[in-house]
Amino acid sequence: MELAQAVVYIAAGIMLGLGALGAGVGIGVLGGRFLEGAARQPELIPMLRTQFFIVMGLTDAMPVISIAMGLYLLFAV
């Protein structure tokens, strides 16, 4: 395998892996806090769920971009 191609595969692997790692940690912490808050004050669940989804969408954005670029590198370049 040529070096250039190998480097592309390594780059795609790093992008996919680090993206998944960051999103996993971030959404894990977020979900844990959401459950804590929901257990403490169950009457706030509808409001907390909305906020949870907003922040999840914000957290999700960067990893998803890096995953898209990683897949593009892997399959289309």
Residues that bind other proteins (CB under 8 A): 53-54, 56-58, 60-62, 64-65, 67-68, 71-72, 75-77
**Spatial separation of the C-alpha atoms in residues 24 and 35, rounded to whole Å:** 16
**Which of 30, 60, 69, 74 is the catalytic position?**
60
Q: Give the residue among 37, 74, 32, 75 at the shortest CA–CA distance from 56.
A: 32
Please say whether the beta carbons of 17 and 9 come within 8 A.
no
Choice between 34 and 39, CB closer to other proteins: 34
Choice between 38 and 51, CB closer to other proteins: 51
Q: Is 45 in the active site?
A: no
Choice between 29 and 68, CB closer to other proteins: 68
